[in-house]
């Protein structure tokens, strides 16, 4: 199920992120990832405005250079409030990479999209690290 609704400025307009290094990887099939992404998105009260699907892309690839996810992260795909994936490794190579991606989203968001660094993933169990003096990220589910 891949429901896509337009960006509406609600603050929880999320981009679904999927990645597969091998299409034969059954445990991470596109359908299963779509399911998990949709559930994670729903759990934080968000909705999917688009999908960044990178097939045949290794987990070692820098998120910025991924054909689908890269342009979103670089702010080339229009406004969005965050990204949601089925697991950490579907977005970045590791947690460190993921945090860098969150930082990047914050820095590219500029003033126009201040909430872009909210990046729930993994069934809503993670949000970007709290910053001193920044309370915007703390209303996303735990």
The torsion angle over the Cα atoms of residues 12, 104, 70 and 1, rounded to 10 degrees, is -20
Decide: is 3 part of the binding site for Zn ion (CB under 5 A): no
Query: Which stretch, 8-16, 60-68, 89-97, 99-107, contacts Zn ion (CB under 5 A)?
Result: 8-16
Q: Which residue has the tokens 């999908």?
A: 51
Interacting residues with Zn ion between 9 and 48 (CB under 5 A): 10, 13
Decide: is 134 part of the binding site for Zn ion (CB under 5 A): no
Decide: is 8 part of the binding site for Zn ion (CB under 5 A): yes
Measured from the CB of residue 10, what is the shortest distance to Zn ion in angstroms?
Answer: 3
| Sequence-ordered list of residues with C-beta below 8 angstroms from that of 15, at least 6 positions apart, any chain | 48, 49, 50, 51, 52, 72, 77, 80, 82, 83, 84
- Give residue number: closest CB to Zn ion: 10
Q: Which residue has the tokens 């702010």?
A: 75
Compare residues 8 and 134 and give the one whose CB is closer to Zn ion.
Answer: 8
| Residues making contact with Zn ion (CB under 5 A) | 8, 10, 13
């Amino acid at each position: 199920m891949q429901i896509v609704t337009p960006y509406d400025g609600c603050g929880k307009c999320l981009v679904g992120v999927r990645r597969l290094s091998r299409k034969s990887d059954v445990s991470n099939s596109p359908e299963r990832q779509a399911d998990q992404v949709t559930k994670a998105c729903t759990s934080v009260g968000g909705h999917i405005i688009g999908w960044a699907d990178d097939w045949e892309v290794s987990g070692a690839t820098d998120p910025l250079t991924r054909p689908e996810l890269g342009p979103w992260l670089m702010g080339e795909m229009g406004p969005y409030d965050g990204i949601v994936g089925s697991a950490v490794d579907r977005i970045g190579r590791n947690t460190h990479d993921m945090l860098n991606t969150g930082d990047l989203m914050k820095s590219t968001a500029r003033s126009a999209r201040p909430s872009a660094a909210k990046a729930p993933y993994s069934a809503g169990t993670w949000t970007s690290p709290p910053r001193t003096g920044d309370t915007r990220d703390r209303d996303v589910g735990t």
